[in-house]
Amino acid sequence: MEDILDPKTQLLVALAAASAAKCQTCFATLHGAADRVGASEREMRAAVAIATKVAAKAREAMAAFVARTAGTGPATGAAAGGCGCS
Question: Residue 85's pLDDT is what?
Answer: 59
Instruction: Find out whether 2 and 33 touch, Cβ atoms under 8 Å.
Output: no
Residue 79: CB atoms within 10 A of its CB come to 11
pLDDT above 60 (res 79): no
Q: Say what the pTM is.
A: 0.74
Q: Give the pLDDT band (50/70/90) at residue 75.
A: low
What residue spans of 1-86 are helical by DSSP H? 7-21, 24-36, 41-70
The pLDDT tens digits of the residues spanning 16-31 come to: 999 999 999 999 999 9
Tell me the per-residue pLDDT of 10-64, one tens digit each, with 9 for 90 and over. 999 999 999 999 999 999 999 999 999 999 999 999 999 999 999 999 999 999 9
For the chain, give the number of residues. Answer: 86
